[in-house]
Structure 1
Amino acid sequence: MLFVSIVIPVFNDAKRLKLCLNALENQTYPKHLYEVIVVDNGSNKEQNISGLVTQFEQVRITDESSPGSYAARNKGISIAKGEIVAFTDADCIPTINWIENGVKNLLHTPNCGLVAGKIDIFFKDPNHLSVVELYESIMALPQMEFLKKHNYGATANVFTLKSVIDKVGFFDANLKSSGDVEWGQRVAAYGYGQIYAEDTCVAHPARHSFQDLYKKTVRYAGGSYDLQIKRSKSAWERNKKFIISVIQDLIPPLIFTCNVFLDSRLKNFRQKSQVSLVMFFIRYISVWEKMRLKFGGYSTRE
């Protein structure tokens, strides 16, 4: 069995980090074969992240002053002892056999570059979902789709080998979002295999309010915009990609709306209409943020 290093970036989220660390303290994987590295990415002193970490036997802490979860993950990787490196987020709750199954899937798959595990979405009150939670229930973090269609796994739940990181490189620390997209696609470009693992699962809270969803949308739009710039070879190509992305956001997502009204997970016309309206909200906020960045703004972590 190989030693595993689990890297968790955190920014002002001590309450949910404690739940995550509790879950990682009680894994089926042998305790002497894994470590948890919490990377404090500039949390407020009142959060007392270092004090929280001392409560857990398996956990050590470091910090990264450069803002952004990918810069923080890189810091964790740089001090990781493990031959296997796993990533999750401070607001995630891994299942009791998360490490065991992640390692099994990684090692039993020939030439495996990454394992993208399942991400279950949970809610404050499953019997009374907010409009935003309703949207998240069918749209948030479709890990299998990320892998099959786009060759990456969301870093809320990814396992890889340290040797793979040594070959393909670290995350792009300049990206505030979409760094997992860029890195995962780099892994695929190097010829490594990628698999989705249903049995390697973490639970992730749904966004509850429009404020939460707004922050997420702005961050994702910024990451997408920054990644476009990174991948554009000329100003002409960059401007072309920008125009296409804005048009795609502005055109009413009719296909999405049709699919929503056919989705059996939504119980009635009211729910289907609400989810469709949330999609419009997201699209137009995304355009607004891309326009802000185009005219001199900078992407933010939240």
Structure 2
Amino acid sequence: MESHSHPFVSVIIPVYNDAERLKLCLEALENQTYPKTGYEVIVVDNASDEAADIKGVVAQFGQAIAAYESTPGSYAARNKGISLAKGEVIAFTDADCIPESDWIEKGVEHLLDVPNCGLVAGKIEIFFKDSTRLTTVELYESLMALPQQEFLENHRYGATANVFTWRNVIKDVGAFDASLKSSGDVEWGQRVHSYGYQQVYAEDTCVAHPARYSFQQLYKRTLRHIGGTYDLQMRRYSSSLKMNQMFMSSLFFNLTPPLQFALTVFRDPIIKNWNHKFKISLVMFFVRYVSAWELMRLKLGGVSERE
């Protein structure tokens, strides 16, 4: 039953093949402090392989329902979830995230407390396979992965691993750009800001997210991120001159050795091991040059990667 203090919440989770981690996410969502009659969880299968049996996984959890979206891309899947949602509040997380037990409760509190609130971006806590033996990529991720407060305060968006909003806000500003495979949360969050809505970062509204631990995982993430950014720029700048300027600026940035980043890492008092400092700096070189090559591939007619 919906009330002012407990509006009905629809949690939307896109998933592509990630059945094992989805189970952990749904277990956490099954055991929320929010009243069970006050929320639903919509899992949108984005054309996973049949062997993943996403529908069978979802059927194990009483709060969850399964949906399907064949158009590739998590934002197309999120839009499908929005179309089915019953909630006055819409919350987003990802299949590989583990929400805290009071995640829904805290997210709703912030929506209610902030006047004209369009978006609550919650904390994304990074965790590791073995915190006593971090891989080189995990060391890098410990500094760089999903800095939600920075996303919101400096760039006016929240990563959809942890975002709450009102259904009426989506009705006003529109849903996600389903043609984007990445950076759809950037475009949507900045659209919410441009409409004059308040945005808030919520440290106490937390989900845990696994760090990428291999160069292969980081490579795939980098390709997806650069592709999404490139596609977004293509939509924003109709002028070929402006697009070429943005391309050259991005290319130059990524081909320039990240010496400032390395200097910051070596000065960081939290990272005390000099070998770790060196390794983190090398990973940034890797990310920059992979980004540059992907930009050139896209400029020459390539298509952005889905995963």
Give the structure-2-normalised TM-score. Answer: 0.98
What is the match of residue 51 of structure 1? 56
Trace 1:35-184 onto structure 2 (pairs within 5 A): 35-184=40-189
Q: Counterpart amino acid of 1:115? A: V
Q: Counterpart amino acid of 2:35? A: P
Q: Tell me, in whole angstroms, the C-alpha distance in 2 between the residues paired with 1:3 and 1:99.
A: 10
Q: Counterpart amino acid of 1:14? A: A
| Residue-by-residue CA offset, 1:58-111 (whole Å, 9 max, x unaligned) | 000111001000000000001100000000000000000000000000111011
Q: Tell me, in whole angstroms, the C-alpha distance in 2 between the residues paired with 1:200 and 1:8.
A: 17
Runs of 4+ in 1 over 4 A off after TM superposition: none
What is the match of residue 210 of structure 1? 215
Q: Tell me, in whole angstroms, the C-alpha distance in 2 between the residues paired with 1:88 and 1:236.
A: 37
More moved, 224-233 vs 93-102: 224-233
What is the match of residue 270 of structure 1? 275
Q: Tell me, in whole angstroms, the C-alpha distance in 1 between the residues paired with 2:197 and 2:129.
A: 38
1:4 aligns with 2:9: yes
SS of equivalent residue, structure 2 residue 208: strand
Q: Tell me, in whole angstroms, the C-alpha distance in 2 between the residues paired with 1:99 and 1:263.
A: 34
Q: How many residues align?
A: 302
SS of equivalent residue, structure 1 residue 198: strand
Shift of the alpha carbon at 1:259? 0.8
Shift of the alpha carbon at 1:264? 2.0
What is the match of residue 3 of structure 2? none
Q: Tell me, in whole angstroms, the C-alpha distance in 2 between the residues paired with 1:21 and 1:301.
A: 24
Q: Tell me, in whole angstroms, the C-alpha distance in 2 between the residues paired with 1:279 and 1:189.
A: 32
Q: Tell me, in whole angstroms, the C-alpha distance in 2 between the residues paired with 1:7 and 1:263.
A: 37
Shift of the alpha carbon at 1:281? 0.2
| Runs of 5+ unmatched residues, structure 2 | 1-5
Q: Tell me, in whole angstroms, the C-alpha distance in 2 between the residues paired with 1:246 and 1:150.
A: 20
More moved, 256-265 vs 99-108: 256-265
Q: Counterpart amino acid of 1:84? A: V
Q: Tell me, in whole angstroms, the C-alpha distance in 2 between the residues paired with 1:112 and 1:218.
A: 33
SS of equivalent residue, structure 2 residue 151: helix
Trace 1:224-235 onto structure 2 (pairs within 5 A): 224-235=229-240
What is the match of residue 193 of structure 2? 188
| Residue-by-residue CA offset, 1:106-141 (whole Å, 9 max, x unaligned) | 111011100000000000000000000000001100
Q: Tell me, in whole angstroms, the C-alpha distance in 1 between the residues paired with 2:245 and 2:216.
A: 31
Percent identity over paired residues: 66
What is the match of residue 257 of structure 1? 262
- Given candidates 278, 289, 293, the residue that maps to 2:298 is 293
Q: Tell me, in whole angstroms, the C-alpha distance in 2 between the residues paired with 1:260 and 1:177.
A: 27
Q: Tell me, in whole angstroms, the C-alpha distance in 1 between the residues paired with 2:110 and 2:121.
A: 10
Q: Tell me, in whole angstroms, the C-alpha distance in 2 between the residues paired with 1:296 and 1:233.
A: 17
Shift of the alpha carbon at 1:175? 0.6
Give the structure-1-normalised TM-score. Answer: 0.99
Q: Counterpart amino acid of 1:246? A: L
